[in-house]
């Protein structure tokens, strides 16, 4: 009965999409792109799926949220990916790009929550930073003596004498990363709101100051591979890194968190909201590829199974903070119904 249903869906989609869908049907591996934060979760599901079904394991690429959205929205068919992972919601501009390229039936799948970790080597000094201090360390321009000037700070103790007397070296994500977007929104923008000279600026100018990261050395864009940041932190205990909680969780034997506003990231503090840098995680799937790309429907079903993203599931073991019972039920219902995501009401 189940296989007959999938066959019927496939035939319907092929009829609707014509030649493109026939080409898509000929591809025998699911293709997934997107967020470096979501990547380890998707890779874990892909490995489980490949070892427990007759289907080939999906091909999973870490392209960053922004890069993944661009590739995902390029079109429908075999040459385009089926799924993109995202550490933030799809923007209006990305949605418009999808629609313009015929990717007009998308399912937004909320999979859980994650905290943005600020971390460094276990051998480094314990640190507790406010969002305002992180802004002062990382912004291109800051307030000094009531004026907005190019960031002069090169040492943490220059920002506050209670902080370690060591150079500011922070490895973080590039502009294409959803982690970068979330960090700017949740840390930089909130931190800059503590400075009167900045909040007194005209709106466009204030936005520029609050969002623009420095490019004079202390902040280093480390690419989309968060494992490289982990390696750099382990080789320099004065350096600090910014990445998703899962990478801290998986490397807690060598790394430790920098507390933010007195709270360190953990499953409990992210889930209860007491840790102030947390965000939802998603993947987006093309409804037009469901039932056409072999195994795609089954893969998505595995991803949102209780064994995968539920409490005690193998994704929680890797650091994912599970959704509530009601949210997980709604996620599964959206998939079963082929829910059509829209960025506009």
Mean pLDDT of 217-222: 94
227-246 pLDDT, tens digit per residue, is: 888 889 999 999 999 998 98
CATH node for 115-278: 3.40.190.10
Say what the pLDDT of residue 345 is.
64
46-81 pLDDT, tens digit per residue, is: 999 999 999 999 999 999 999 999 999 999 999 999
139-186 pLDDT, tens digit per residue, is: 999 999 999 999 999 999 999 999 999 999 999 989 988 889 999 999
Name the residue ranges covered by the structural domains of the chain: 2-114+280-336, 115-278
Q: What are phi and psi of 17, to 5 degrees?
A: -100, -15
Sequential DSSP letters for 55-88? SPPPEE----HHHHHHHHTT-SSTTS-SEEEESS
Residue 41 has pLDDT above 80, yes or no: yes
| Predicted TM-score (pTM) of this structure | 0.77
CA-to-CA distance for 253 and 261, rounded, in angstroms? 23
Say what the pLDDT of residue 117 is.
93
Considering the four listed CATH numbers 2.70.240.10, 3.40.190.10, 3.40.1550.20, 3.30.1490.20, the one that applies to the domain covering 2-114+280-336 is 3.40.190.10
Residue 337 has pLDDT above 60, yes or no: yes
Residue 23 has pLDDT above 50, yes or no: no
Say what the pLDDT of residue 30 is.
97
203-216 pLDDT, tens digit per residue, is: 999 999 999 999 99
Residue 15 has pLDDT above 50, yes or no: no
Mean pLDDT of 72-96: 96
Which residues, other chains included, contact 249 with Cβ-Cβ below 8 Å and sequence gap of 6+?
A: 318, 319
Share of the chain above pLDDT 70, in %: 92
- Contacts made by residues 259-262, CB under 8 angstroms, sequence distance 24+: 259/127, 259/128, 259/129, 260/118, 260/128, 260/129, 260/130, 260/131, 260/134, 260/187, 261/128, 261/130, 261/131, 262/128
- Mean pLDDT, the chain, integer: 90
Mean pLDDT of 294-323: 95
Which band of pLDDT confidence, cut at 50, 70 and 90, is reported for residue 9?
Answer: very low
Residue 20 has pLDDT above 50, yes or no: no
CA-to-CA distance for 3 and 250, rounded, in angstroms? 38
CA-to-CA distance for 64 and 51, rounded, in angstroms? 26
In 3D, which of 7, 10, 86, 82 has the Cα closest to residue 41? 86
Share of the chain above pLDDT 90, in %: 79
Residue 306 has pLDDT above 70, yes or no: yes
Residue 21 has pLDDT above 50, yes or no: no
Say what the pLDDT of residue 189 is.
96
How far from 151 is each of 140, 203, 204, 214, 228, CA to CA, in Å?
A: 6, 20, 19, 8, 27
Torsion (CA) 194, 200, 204, 206 in degrees, nearest 10:
-30
Say what the pLDDT of residue 19 is.
42
Mean pLDDT of 262-276: 91
Q: What are phi and psi of 118, to 5 degrees?
A: -105, 120
Residue 187 has pLDDT above 70, yes or no: yes
2-114+280-336 and 115-278 agree in CATH topology:
yes
Mean pLDDT of 117-128: 95
Are 46 and 58 within 8 A, CB to CB? yes
Lowest mean pLDDT among 26-30, 80-84, 196-200, 276-280: 26-30
β-sheet bridge partners, residue 335: none
User: Could you give the residue ranges of the DSSP H alpha helices within the chain?
Assistant: 2-17, 19-26, 39-52, 65-72, 92-100, 131-138, 156-159, 178-183, 189-192, 196-199, 203-211, 226-235, 245-250, 267-271, 296-303, 306-309, 325-336
Mean pLDDT of 93-112: 96
Sequential DSSP letters for 139-187? BSEEEETTEEEE----BHHHH-TTS-SSB--EEE--TT-HHHHHHIIII
Mean pLDDT of 249-271: 93
Residue 22 has pLDDT above 60, yes or no: no
Say what the pLDDT of residue 257 is.
96
Residue 204, Cβ density class (10 Å: 0-12 exposed, 13-18 middle, ≥19 buried): exposed
- The per-residue b/e assignment along 219-258, b for 16 or more CB within 10 angstroms, e otherwise, is beebbbebeebbbbbbeeebbbbbbbbbbbbbbeeebbbb
Mean pLDDT of 271-285: 92
What does the block give as tokens for 247? 């990478």
């Amino acid at each position: 009965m189940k296989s007959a249903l999938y066959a019927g869906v496939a035939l319907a989609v092929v009829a609707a999409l014509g030649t493109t869908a026939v080409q898509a049907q000929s591809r025998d591996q699911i293709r997934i792109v997107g967020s470096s934060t979501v990547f380890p979760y998707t890779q874990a599901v892909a490995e489980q799926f490949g070892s427990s079904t007759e289907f080939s394991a999906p091909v999973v690429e870490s392209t960053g949220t922004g890069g993944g959205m661009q590739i995902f929205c390029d079109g429908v068919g075999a040459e385009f990916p089926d799924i993109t992972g995202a550490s933030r919601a799809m923007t209006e501009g990305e949605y418009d790009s999808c629609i313009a390229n015929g990717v007009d039936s998308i399912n937004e799948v909320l999979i859980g929550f994650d905290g943005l970790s600020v971390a460094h080597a276990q051998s480094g000094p314990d640190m507790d930073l406010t969002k305002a201090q992180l802004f002062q360390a990382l912004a291109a321009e800051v307030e000094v003596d009531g004026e907005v000037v190019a960031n002069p700070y090169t040492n943490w103790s220059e920002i506050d004498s209670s902080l370690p007397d060591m150079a500011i070296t922070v490895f973080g994500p590039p502009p294409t990363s959803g982690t970068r977007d979330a960090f700017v929104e949740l840390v930089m923008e909130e931190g800059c709101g503590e400075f009167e000279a900045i909040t007194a600026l005209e709106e466009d100018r204030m936005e520029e100051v609050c969002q623009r990261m420095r490019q004079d050395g202390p902040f280093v864009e480390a690419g989309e591979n968060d494992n490289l940041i982990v390696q750099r932190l382990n080789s320099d205990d004065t350096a600090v890194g910014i990445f998703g909680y899962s990478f801290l969780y998986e490397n807690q034997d060598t790394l430790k968190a920098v507390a933010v506003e007195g709270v360190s990231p953990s499953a409990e503090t992210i889930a209860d909201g007491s840790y102030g840098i947390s965000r939802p995680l998603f993947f987006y799937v093309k409804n037009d590829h469901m039932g056409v790309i072999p195994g795609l429907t089954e893969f998505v079903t595995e991803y949102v199974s209780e064994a995968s993203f539920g409490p005690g599931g193998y994704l929680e073991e890797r650091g994912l903070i599970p959704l509530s019972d009601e949210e997980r039920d709604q996620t599964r219902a959206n998939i079963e119904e082929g829910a059509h995501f829209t960025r506009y009401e």
